[in-house]
Structure formats: C-alpha cells, structure tokens
C-alpha cells in the first residue's frame, strides 16, 4: 500500500511538471552534464570498486564529455546535497552516476568527507527533489538489481522520458572507463515513454537471488532478505569504517 501511495504521488508530480512546462535546458553543444560519484568505502567488495577506480572512471567520463562539447559538473564522493543540487538545476539536462545500489536506490554519503555516514537515496527521494524534468539522459553506471517487490528506476521522477534512463537492468556490475566491455550492459531500461505502476511491476519484477520455492510469497522473501542483511551486517544502517 505504501508503494502504491508513494508512486501515485510521484506520478502526479511528473504530470504536473509537464503540464507547467517545467523542463531543463535541452542537451546539445555547451550543455552541462552532472557526474555524481557517491563513493562509500565500507561497501567496497572488489578492487574494481575502490576509490581509485571511481577516480579513473570520473576522469574518463570528464574527458569524453568535454570531447563532445559538453561541460562536466563533477562531484566526487557526491553527497545528498550534491544530488539535490543536480536535481534542481535546470541548466543540467543529463545526469551520470556511479555508486553502490540497485535499480531503485543508491547509497550516498550524508555529508562531505571520506568518513561520512551514508544513507540510501531512493527513486522517491530524487522524485521529491526534482523541481523540473530533465530533457537529457539519466545514466546509472551501477548495479541494476531488482531486489524489491516494486522496482521503479532511480531516475523515474527526474527525466521527461523514461526511455532516457539507462542502467544494467537486473545485473550486478563494476564498470571502469568507457572502454570497459561492461558498458554494453548499460542500456535504456524501457521503450515506454511514461512508465505506469503496472509497467514497472511487469518490466522490473522482483529478482529472487536464490532457488526459493514458488509458494513463498514475495513479501515473505523480501522481508527475510532484509532481516538477513540486518543481522549479518554489523554496519547496516550505520556509518561504516573506511578501508
């Protein structure tokens, strides 16, 4: 029920912004591109995801953006405030991000600094931040797992067309640089201009990561995974130490 209410509110806001003509500038020569890198050291499980790889990836992205006559707006260790700044800046039509999360959320430092505590920014949080709709792309260079019963793409309430959201749907990835073959998995998440609740449920169903009997309801499965994470991870919901 909560998902239904939250989505209905976000959907109504998208329609209202469209009706009011609240859009960003269009992408084109000279346009800005926000590059958000919300690095969380305690979530690193593979060397391909360490801070050096984030820096290397950012350098490649900045060079590519500049080579295509765009202006990068880079935020390393991007915070919640950095996300809000990008969501509310109509001079930025395109957003590219890399971090730790799933199709619907991204772990993000609450404040500046390598030891800052982090939170999980949800699709609904970004939708609430947005005061206009982006006319460029929303590119997720992060995992695209569908770990929930309801999995709206993170950029749902940010872009004018949902065809402009790109992510590795259903996959766990680590991507470093534009020559990495993993980039091929970062594709438009849908051919649908505007995703409805029914579209999201059908196109992005819950991924069961283990061989779980079908008679176990999705709600029980998701709840059990959440409890497992809570009790197996001593830092769940709390600041993690840096490595």
Confidence band for 235, pLDDT divided at 50, 70 and 90: very low
pLDDT digits (tens, 9 = 90+) for 73-131: 999 999 999 999 999 999 999 999 999 999 999 999 999 998 899 999 999 999 999 99
Q: How far is the C-alpha of 210 from the C-alpha of 121, rounded, in Å? A: 26
pLDDT score at 103: 98
Residue span of the structural domain in which 174 resides: 2-232
The verdict on residue 243 lying in a domain is: no
For residue 72, pLDDT beyond 60? yes
Percent of the chain at pLDDT > 90 equals 80
The verdict on residue 237 lying in a domain is: no
The verdict on residue 240 lying in a domain is: no
pLDDT score at 40: 96
For the chain, what is the domain count? 1
Average pLDDT score over residue span 10-36: 98
For residue 132, pLDDT beyond 80? yes
pLDDT score at 25: 98
pLDDT score at 207: 81
The verdict on residue 211 lying in a domain is: yes
Per-residue b/e over 64-85, b at no fewer than 16 CB within 10 Å? ebeeeebebbbbebbbbebbbb
DSSP string, the chain: -HHHHHHHHHHHHHHHHHHTT-B-PPPSTT-EEEEEE---GGG--SGGGSHHHHHHHHHHHHHHHHHTT-EEEEEET--HHHHHHHHT-TT--EEEE--SEETTEEEEESSSSTT--EEEEEHHHHHHH-SSBBSS-EEE-S-B---SSS---TTTTTBS-GGGEEE-BT------STT-GGGGG-EES-S-SS--HHHHHHHSPPPP-S---TTS-HHHHHHHHHHHHHHH-TTTTS-----
The verdict on residue 210 lying in a domain is: yes
Confidence band for 228, pLDDT divided at 50, 70 and 90: very low
- Supply the mean pLDDT for the chain: 89
pLDDT digits (tens, 9 = 90+) for 178-197: 999 999 999 999 999 999 99
The verdict on residue 242 lying in a domain is: no
Q: Which residue has the higher pLDDT, 242 or 205?
A: 205
For residue 234, pLDDT beyond 70? no
The verdict on residue 6 lying in a domain is: yes
Q: Which residue has the tokens 């993000």?
A: 108
pLDDT score at 214: 62
The verdict on residue 101 lying in a domain is: yes
For residue 36, pLDDT beyond 90? yes
């Amino acid at each position: 029920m909560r998902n239904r209410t939250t989505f209905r509110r976000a959907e109504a806001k998208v329609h209202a912004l469209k009706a009011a003509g609240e859009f960003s500038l269009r992408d084109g020569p000279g346009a800005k591109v926000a590059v958000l890198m919300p690095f969380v050291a305690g979530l690193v499980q593979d060397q391909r995801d360490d801070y050096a790889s984030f820096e290397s990836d950012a350098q490649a992205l900045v060079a590519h953006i500049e080579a295509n006559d765009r202006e990068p707006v880079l935020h390393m260790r991007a915070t919640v405030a950095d996300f809000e700044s990008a969501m509310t800046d109509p001079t930025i039509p395109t957003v590219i991000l890399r971090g730790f999360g799933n199709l619907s959320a991204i772990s993000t430092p609450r404040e500046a600094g390598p030891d800052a505590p982090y939170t999980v920014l949800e699709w609904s949080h970004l939708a609430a931040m947005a005061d206009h709709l982006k006319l460029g792309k929303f590119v997720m260079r992060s995992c695209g797992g569908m770990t929930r019963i309801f999995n709206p793409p993170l950029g749902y309430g940010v872009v004018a067309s949902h065809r402009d959201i790109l992510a590795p749907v259903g996959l766990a990835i680590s991507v470093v640089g534009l020559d990495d073959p993993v980039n091929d998995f970062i594709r438009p998440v849908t051919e649908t201009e505007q995703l409805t609740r029914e579209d999201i449920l059908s196109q992005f169903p819950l991924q069961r990561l283990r061989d779980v009997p079908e008679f176990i309801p999705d709600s029980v499965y998701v709840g059990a995974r959440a409890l497992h994470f809570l009790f197996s991870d001593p830092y769940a919901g709390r600041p993690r130490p840096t490595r």
